[in-house]
Amino acid sequence: MRVFLIFTVVAVGTYLVRVSGIALLSNPEKLSPRVRRALGLVAPTAMGAIIVNSLFLDEDGWREFGAWHLGAAVAIAVALWKRSSGWAMSLGAAAFALLLLAGM
Amino acid sequence: MKLVPAIVPDGEPGSDTGANSHATGVGCSCQTGPVTPHRPDSDSADRGSGAATGGPVLGISRLQWADAWAGLKAIAPLMPGSAAFGLAFGALVPVAGINPWTGLYASVSVVAGASQISVVESVRAGAPAVIAVVTALIINARFALYSAALGPVFSAFPRRWKLGLAHIMTDQAAVVALQHADRYPDPVRRRWFVLGGALPFVTVWIVGTLVGVVAGPIIPDSWQIGFIVPLMFVAVMVPTLRRSEDVVALGITAVVVVASRGLPYGLNVMVGIISGIVAGTAWAEWADARRRARGMPPESLADAAEHEAEGGL
């Protein structure tokens, strides 16, 4: 029940954010440049925080070096090289599977 | 790409004000696409194109079906990502000990994967509800940027359409709507195009979650399915890293998340995000000042929203 309520509050809050500009803002250039900049950085920082948190930290401290780090390194290299989410995802997953099969 | 969204005076669709002003091109910067004279409007009305032959289907004109189909085709290349991410979220739900129905409910009601995963992680870390909510809402604050950019694009839509479409405006749907707005100066056709892209995309996301919830318990622990979370975010974010402020913000976020790992309830994630945003904004303002000094224009809101949507989830 607690998790259900958390998701409900997040859903309501997210909807209010989503509808704010659509319903109220006829001239988006009213948004101050600083706010615009800050909002533009939410996605990379949020994703970066989740990546670093799950890749390097475990429940009890540092995650032991292994398939997670190497698999992610492959995905990052492919993403930078190909500039393609599909390639990064596919080759990162393949590398991770091979590393697990290799016993890492 | 700089978008100049069509500005159509507000009014209920089909009202003389909205459609006539559109037909005369008032306030509309986009001259491509069909411009049809106004007729009393309903979505079942044939809006005067040769593409619409035959009668309405399910009370909706064939032209509107064609517009919705065009929206679906525009967003289709992004759908595998939505399915995979929905699958990943769904698979995490049973792992975190969350009721499968609650996980499915989250995908229907929140419709924002990164924040949903952050809630799951907060729950796993035993964080108080308020921290789980605030962290998720900070992540979803990015939707304010899309919403602001979409305001003029949706301005001629009826209120019920605005309120409905707002719920299914994912990052990807928002950018598709922004990119194609100029091709649909007619607000009725435009809203069907937007719906045709956004609704199937969300449907795929929900179905992906359902499959993940069902398959999650079957997947052996040795597969370490949790790896899909960083993998998905790497795949989505890294290809979009081009601006210096993104790299600065990301670097600061990474350092702060690790340095503050001792904080309780997974608060290091929220602290890292805020630190990165503050640092990146300061860097961007400094870079902007340099651009202005060189006589170069600062980035527009539409550019910022599109860039944001490239890496959004």
pLDDT tens digits for chain B (313 residues)?
333 333 333 333 333 333 333 333 323 333 333 334 334 345 554 454 444 567 788 888 888 999 999 999 988 877 887 888 888 889 889 888 899 999 999 999 999 988 998 899 889 888 899 999 998 998 888 888 788 888 888 888 999 999 999 999 988 888 788 878 888 999 999 999 999 999 999 999 999 999 999 988 887 878 887 787 788 788 878 887 888 999 999 999 999 999 998 888 778 888 999 999 999 999 999 988 888 888 877 665 556 666 655 555 5
State the pLDDT at residue B309.
Answer: 56
Specify the 3-state DSSP secondary structure of B48.
coil
Residue A8 lies in a domain: yes
State the pLDDT at residue B196.
Answer: 95
Residue A47 lies in a domain: no
State the pLDDT at residue B10.
Answer: 34
Instruction: Please state at what angle helix B187-215 crosses helix B159-167, rounded to 10 degrees.
Output: 30
Neighbours of B16 (CB within 10 A): 11
Of A8, A33, A49, the CB nearest to B257: A49
- Which residue is it, tokens 């359902």? B210
Residue A51 lies in a domain: no
Closest of B113, B100, B110 to residue B211, by C-alpha: B100
B-facing residues of A in 14-73 (CB < 8 A) are 14-15, 17-29, 31, 33-34, 36-57, 59, 61, 67-68, 71-72
Residue A97 lies in a domain: no
Of B146, B150, B281, the CB nearest to A41: B281
Residue A94 lies in a domain: no
The complex's ipTM? 0.88
State the pLDDT at residue B304.
Answer: 62
Residue B92 CA, chain-centre distance (Å), reads 22
Q: How far is CA B181 from CA A25, B33, B64, B120, B189, in A?
A: 17, 10, 15, 36, 10
CA distance A64 to chain B (A): 14
State the pLDDT at residue A86.
Answer: 78
CA distance A89 to chain B (A): 5
Q: Is B234 on the interface with A (CB under 8 A)?
A: yes
- Which residue is it, tokens 């809050």? A13
State the pLDDT at residue B201.
Answer: 94
Residue A4 lies in a domain: yes
Residue A91 lies in a domain: no
The CA distance from B107 to B86, in Å, is 8
- Residue numbers of the domain that contains A7: 1-30
Interacting residues of B204 by C-beta distance below 8 A, sequence separation 6+:
B79, B82, B83, B86
Closest of B190, B189, B188, B193 to residue B153, by C-alpha: B190
Looking at the structure of chain A, the number of domains it has is 1
- pLDDT at residue A83 greater than cutoff 70: yes
The CA distance from B22 to B15, in Å, is 11
- Using the beta-carbon criterion (under 8 Å), do A17 and B147 form an inter-chain contact? yes
Residue A23 lies in a domain: yes
Of B167, B238, B308, the CB nearest to A40: B308
